[in-house]
Amino acid sequence: MSQLPATVQLQINGRAVSVAHGVSVAAALAIAGMPTTRHSVSGEPRTPLCGMGICQECRVQINGRVRLACQTVCAPGMQVERLP
């Protein structure tokens, strides 16, 4: 196996963010100071709740697809966008 980089660079809401290897997108959002993953139907900001792929509160756009931030590991060059 090739050596893993100590950090991973990705884009969160258009901003370059650097995190440790293996960090989840849910954690990266908090590290970047942009923890909100979505706004509810009545406009409330929401952040991850269950942390294990059940509640869907952490769904975000990752490389153009809606995925769960808590079950996705950051990868180099990943594009993460908050849902509208």
Partner 1 sequence: MNTLNTSLQAQSLRCDVLVAGAGPAGLSAALAAASGGARVLLLDDNPWTGGQIWRGGPYAELPAAAKALQHKVAASHNIEVLHAARVVGVVGQLADHTVLVETDSGALHVHWGRLVVCTGARERLLPFAGWTLPGVTGAGGLQALIKGGLPVRGQRVVIAGSGPLLFAVAASARKAGAKVLLVAEQASLARVSGFARKLPLWPSKLVQALQLRDSSYRTSTTVRAVQGVGKVQSVTVKQGESLRTVECDRVAVGYGLLPNTGLAEALGCAMVMRDGAPAIAVDALQATSQADIYAAGECTGVGGSERALAQGSIAGYAAIGALQQACALEKERAYWSAFAAHMHASFALDPGLKNLPMPETLVCRCEDVSHQALQAHGSWTEAKIHTRCGMGACLGKVCGSAAAFLYGWQMPEARLPLAVARVATLAASAPERLTCPDAPGSGGRPSK
List residues near partner 1 by CB under 8 A. 19-24, 26-28, 30-31, 35-36, 38-42, 44-57, 59, 61, 64-67, 70-73, 83-84
- For the chain, the maximum distance between any two Cα atoms, rounded to a whole number of angstroms, is 48
Q: How far is the CB of 14 from partner 1 (least distance, A)?
A: 17
In the complex with partner 1, the residue whose CB is nearer, 15 or 21, is 21
Helix (H) or strand (E) holding 16: strand 15-20
In the complex with partner 1, the residue whose CB is nearer, 13 or 56, is 56
In the complex with partner 1, the residue whose CB is nearer, 14 or 84, is 84
CB 46 within 8 Å of CB 26: no
Q: How far is the CB of 44 from partner 1 (least distance, A)?
A: 6
Provide the token pair at 21.
């290897």
SS3 39: strand
DSSP letter at 41 equals: T
